Amino acid sequence: MPASCVAHTVAHHALSLPQAWEDHPWEGDLVAKVGKKIFAFLATGDHDSLGVKLPASAGFALSLACADPMGYGLGKHGWVTVNLVDSSLPGVEVLCDWVTESYRAVASKTLVRQLDSGEAASVVPTAGVPSAAQ
């Protein structure tokens, strides 16, 4: 699957999570946020990549040639950058699982419970925070 399709699928999954919304703090990059916290970075263009916080899966992810600890010291806190054009890239299902793990790591316990109970479709974003549809 081309990197652009992988990125689109992963972004769609990220924005389907409870109260997730998209922001563009840097040109060419999309970040998925819950509240004010980033849980996924998606860079496209010259360096198609995904950045996620993986408290449980970082060891496995970093064993793959496509993954490195995230820069700026974030790697010390479980953040991993995944090169979306690398031949060792796992399937899109694994990438979506990693996005969900990252969401769980930064979202409130209330939102994680809503995710676990399948209430995601009925969740209304917090006032003042843009929704994915905006």
Two tokens at 100? 């969900």
pLDDT at 41: 96
3-state secondary structure 44-108: CCCCCEEEEECCCCHHHHHCCCCEEECCCCHHHHCEEEEECCCCCCCCHHHHHHHHHHHHHHHCC
CA atoms within 13 A on the CB side of 112: 11
Instruction: Tell which residue, 51, 53, 35, 26, has the closest CA to residue 131.
Output: 35
pLDDT at 75: 85
Catalogue all structural domains in the chain, each as residue range(s) with its CATH number. 3-122 (3.90.1150.30)
pLDDT at 127: 35
CB 78 within 8 A of CB 58: yes
pTM as predicted: 0.85
Q: Give the pLDDT of the chain (134 residues) as one tens digit per residue.
A: 777 789 999 999 999 999 999 999 888 789 999 999 999 999 887 789 999 999 999 999 999 999 999 998 888 889 999 999 999 999 999 999 999 999 999 999 999 999 998 865 443 343 334 444 43
